[in-house]
Every structure is written in structure tokens, then in C-alpha cells.
Chain A
């Protein structure tokens, strides 16, 4: 039996939270699906340290935390490049690394992407949810505790492409698409949108100047999924993410292709997106989209 390793947050960072791949099982009770915003990177990190793909791990946003380990274990960091350092020395992303008792992991300048994923090999005591309800982000002084695994970490370095800060997103029409005014739709698809600083894990607010009237302002509250574009009465568009509520009363202009959600998860405030319209053909299966 391995001994418990404590990992303490000496500094919390901007937004550090324990995530997994999300849990849709309580969406009918109004619990958001949650989970890593860039699942692909999260899975990579977990697999590198020998964990299952859906193990808990730490999602780190823009400014990283400082973590202190009191025992030996293995880590891997994937996703955004926030200049990770071990005891002040720069360390590589996308490969498993050995940690010793007393080691300090910190982060520096953001070079690429927005969210880094820190996997630690072993069984975590902490989980993303308690009794089905998502836990709040970690704070200074909080502990991550785990029993390090005896599974072998993978001896390889993953090659990855840098994340884009400009994306063209494929958008399926939402249930209220037809009720939007022509003028607003023309504006929406013609515009280069910027991610607002007032964005969080619930959704990206997209910055608009003055815009045409959307033509539809409210609906009877109805189910929503991550990837949905909601538009408020004033024309403010929001791209919903994993922590969004499960129902909402704003008209739904469209839904982004699910395969693009991981890339979306690496966007940061100020990054730009445009939308390209697509439609699932009658009788065509949705997975046929490429």
C-alpha cells in the first residue's frame, strides 16, 4: 500500500478546479454537466501518467497555482503552455515527469492556449463533485490527496499543434433560428466576435457593439447543451460551456459542432471567432458531418 501524497495549493491561481470528463446523469435535476473544457488535453494528461481517461485532474486557467508535493509521484501537464516550472526550473509539457517530496510546481507566462491540465498518477481522494453537486474552485491552502499508482507512466513525449486564437466555428441552426430577424442573422454570421473578459466556465460572452434587433427576445424556458449560442433581448450572444445551466429562457440561435468544443476550451478573453452555418440534412445521421 502506497502512502498518501498531499499536494497543497500554496497559491490558487486565477481559477483552478478539479475536473473530469463531466457527468450528464443529473442534467434532468438541473445539475450542469461540468468537466474539463478541453477534454482532449485532459485525457492526454491522464493517459500519460497511467490513469484512466476519466480520472480527476486539475484544470488551470490563464494564471497558474503554486503546488507543493509531500511525496513521490508522477505528473503530466497538457493543454495550454503556462510556462510550468519545477523548483523554479522550466519543465516540458506533454510528458510524464517524476516528482519528489518537497518539490514545488509553479507556472509563469502564458504562451499558448488558456487551460492547462495537470494529471497526477494515482487514485485521488478529491473529486469534482460532492453528492452530485459540482465543487467550487480550489482556494489557497486546499489539498489534493492521492494514493500514487504503481502503474507505469508512458515513456513518450506527445507532439501537439499550438492552439489557435482565431477559430471558425461550424454552427447548426438552433430551435429558434427561424425566428431571428434577417438583419441580426446577417450581422451574426458576418461578424468577427471577440471573447469578452466577462467569461467563465458557464459561457463565453461575445462582445458586440450596437447590433440589429434580434427579432425574438424570450422563450418558454427549455433545455440547453454546451455549445449552444444564446442571444439575449439586446442582441448579446453567449456561447455556453460545460458549467452552463441545463435550461434557459433565451432564444437559441445555433449549436456549435461538438468536435470543436475542445478547441473552444483553449480560447481566452480577446480571442476571435466567426461562425459558419451548416445544417444536418434530412435523414442524414449527424455523425456524417465532417
Chain B
């Protein structure tokens, strides 16, 4: 681990020597612990794949004290149990909502059934959040090779679309342009109205997907529309 300054209001904690998955576990473990300190003057903690950016008010935070804390923390192994609050996300694969499913499965020389099975069997880590408010980069998706992005990005991808690129998957929280391959859609809203935390996914969740039928998709939609859906329904 190394701690390097990021301008006069930031510190970047890097885990460059660790392997991909281990680095991400270390990042999230440190994210959780640092967050739980409620350190006065720390304005944001931004976890990403292999590092953590701490944004602070230099008038309130003693820079050196924070570095000492971070260096001490590095020796603590991640408590994987506390990281694994798993959200089980229902998803309708293929059809009009997953226009790239057949092509992507064929690219990987898999039947669509086997491809869906590969996607539903994973417990995905939140590698980082970025791109759009509430968008999570989820990995690792172990296709035989990385999935290429679309040569021509779509100008409009609907909210709830589940897509893949590289060895990652993600859910579009709002409609946007996008170049990932769209394999399906979840009826669950990623932006929660009037909730204490307005986002479904937080950096310390893990995510898994399960397949639902069109009629189940409709039932979820009416549940969401009637306001009876709760985020807690998705936890194991």
C-alpha cells in the first residue's frame, strides 16, 4: 500500500502490488473502516478498483494524522463477511430488453442458456462507482475473453438495462447513451425516490442476478409502481 498526496485536499491510497480481487477487497475494507470513523473534515471517500481517494478539508483534517491512521490500517486484513451484504437482483434476459444477448453469447461460443447461467452464478463485487450517479462497475464476469464494447454506442439506453463489457457488468441507473452490450433489464429502480439513501447499490454491496419471466417482470413493475417495493426485499 502507498499513500500519495492528491493536490492540497486529497490523499490517494493505492494497492498496486495486490492482485485485482485482493486489491478491491482491501479498498472496500478500508472504505468501510474509514467511513465508520466519521472523521470530521473528511468530505468524501471514493473507492475504485485498486485505490481509494480521500477528499478532505485541510482546515479540519490534520494531513499527517490521517496518513498515520492509513498506514496503521493497512495491516488489517479485510473482513469479507462484513462486505458481503448481497443484493439479489431480478432480471429479464434477452428479448427486446436485451437486444445484444444472442450476439454476445455467440461471440463467446456459448448457448444463451449457458451464458445466462454464467451471469446468474456469479456473486459480483462492486469494483467502483462512476460514469452516472448510482452506476456500479461489477466484476468479475468470467467469460472466456473480454466482451468488446459496441463499435457504435447507442444514443439511448433505457434505465434498468443490464449490460456487459470487458469482464464487467453493470446496470444503467438512468437512461443515457452507452456502449456496453445490453443483455437484459431489471424491473428494480436503481434510483430510489424519497429514500434515506437515494441509490440501490452502495460500494460495499455484492450483487447477484436471477432470471425472471416476462410475467414476473410485469409483477415487479406493478409492485414498484404501487410503492410497495423495498430495497430490503432484495437481500438474502
A26 to B130, CA, bound (A): 11
B8 neighbours in A (Cβ, 8 Å): 172, 255, 257-258, 280, 286-287, 289
Q: Are A174 and B6 in contact (CB under 8 A)?
A: yes
A17 neighbours in B (Cβ, 8 Å): none
B184 neighbours in A (Cβ, 8 Å): none
Q: Are A28 and B44 in contact (CB under 8 A)?
A: yes
A154 to B14, CA, bound (A): 48
Asked if B212 is at the interface (CB within 8 A of a chain A CB), the reply is no
A101 neighbours in B (Cβ, 8 Å): none
B59 neighbours in A (Cβ, 8 Å): 287
Q: Are A222 and B49 in contact (CB under 8 A)?
A: yes
B95 neighbours in A (Cβ, 8 Å): none
Q: Are A133 and B128 in contact (CB under 8 A)?
A: no
A289 neighbours in B (Cβ, 8 Å): 8
Interface residues of B in 42-81 (CB under 8 A from A): 43-53, 55, 58-59, 62-64
Known contacts A29-B134, A286-B58; is A258 also within 8 Å of B9 by CB?
A: yes
A222 neighbours in B (Cβ, 8 Å): 12, 48-51, 53
A246 to B174, CA, bound (A): 17
Asked if A30 is at the interface (CB within 8 A of a chain B CB), the reply is yes
A223 to B6, CA, bound (A): 10
Asked if A224 is at the interface (CB within 8 A of a chain B CB), the reply is yes
A222 to B198, CA, bound (A): 23
Known contacts A27-B44, A225-B6; is A131 also within 8 Å of B55 by CB?
A: no
Asked if B135 is at the interface (CB within 8 A of a chain A CB), the reply is yes
Asked if A175 is at the interface (CB within 8 A of a chain B CB), the reply is yes
A228 to B6, CA, bound (A): 9
Asked if A256 is at the interface (CB within 8 A of a chain B CB), the reply is yes
Known contacts A223-B52, A223-B53; is A247 also within 8 Å of B128 by CB?
A: yes
A32 to B130, CA, bound (A): 9
Interface residues of B in 17-46 (CB under 8 A from A): 31, 43-46
Interface residues of A in 267-285 (CB under 8 A from B): 280, 283, 285
Known contacts A28-B203, A225-B9, A257-B8; is A131 also within 8 Å of B198 by CB?
A: yes
A156 to B185, CA, bound (A): 58
B64 neighbours in A (Cβ, 8 Å): 283, 285
Q: Are A225 and B55 in contact (CB under 8 A)?
A: yes
For residue B199, which residue of chain A has the nearest CB?
A29
Contact among A31, A221, A255 for B128, CB-based, below 8 A? A221
B46 neighbours in A (Cβ, 8 Å): 27-28, 223, 246-247
Known contacts A30-B129, A133-B191; is A175 also within 8 Å of B49 by CB?
A: no
Asked if A227 is at the interface (CB within 8 A of a chain B CB), the reply is yes
A137 neighbours in B (Cβ, 8 Å): none
Q: Are B130 and A248 in contact (CB under 8 A)?
A: yes
Q: Are A175 and B48 in contact (CB under 8 A)?
A: no
Q: Are A24 and B48 in contact (CB under 8 A)?
A: no
Asked if B10 is at the interface (CB within 8 A of a chain A CB), the reply is yes
State how many angstroms separate the Cβ of A63 from the closest Cβ of chain B. 27
State how many angstroms separate the Cβ of B63 from the closest Cβ of chain A. 5
Among A223, A225, A246, A258, which residue has the most Cβ atoms of chain B within 10 A? A223
Q: Are B130 and A255 in contact (CB under 8 A)?
A: no
Contact among A25, A30, A220, A225 for B10, CB-based, below 8 A? A225
Q: Are A175 and B203 in contact (CB under 8 A)?
A: no
A133 neighbours in B (Cβ, 8 Å): 133, 174, 191, 198
Q: Are B62 and A257 in contact (CB under 8 A)?
A: no
Among B44, B134, B135, B137, which residue has the most Cβ atoms of chain A within 10 A? B44
Q: Are A30 and B133 in contact (CB under 8 A)?
A: yes
B31 neighbours in A (Cβ, 8 Å): 28
Q: Are B7 and A220 in contact (CB under 8 A)?
A: no
B202 neighbours in A (Cβ, 8 Å): 28-29
Asked if B145 is at the interface (CB within 8 A of a chain A CB), the reply is no
Asked if A245 is at the interface (CB within 8 A of a chain B CB), the reply is yes
Known contacts A131-B198, A258-B7, A286-B63; is A30 also within 8 Å of B132 by CB?
A: yes
Asked if A132 is at the interface (CB within 8 A of a chain B CB), the reply is yes
Q: Are A227 and B7 in contact (CB under 8 A)?
A: yes
A86 to B47, CA, bound (A): 48
Contact digits for A214-256, partner B, Cβ 8 Å, 1 yes 0 no: 0000001111110110000000000000000111100000011
State how many angstroms separate the Cβ of A251 from the closest Cβ of chain B. 13
Asked if B148 is at the interface (CB within 8 A of a chain A CB), the reply is no
Q: Are A172 and B194 in contact (CB under 8 A)?
A: no
Q: Are B10 and A285 in contact (CB under 8 A)?
A: no
Q: List 19 A-B contacts (CB under 8 A).
A: A24-B43, A29-B134, A29-B202, A30-B130, A134-B133, A172-B8, A175-B12, A222-B53, A223-B46, A223-B48, A223-B51, A225-B6, A227-B7, A247-B48, A285-B62, A285-B63, A286-B5, A287-B59, A287-B63
For the A-B complex with A24-B43, A30-B132, A286-B7 known, give 5 more contacts whose Cβ atoms are closer than 8 Å: A26-B198, A26-B199, A133-B133, A223-B52, A285-B62
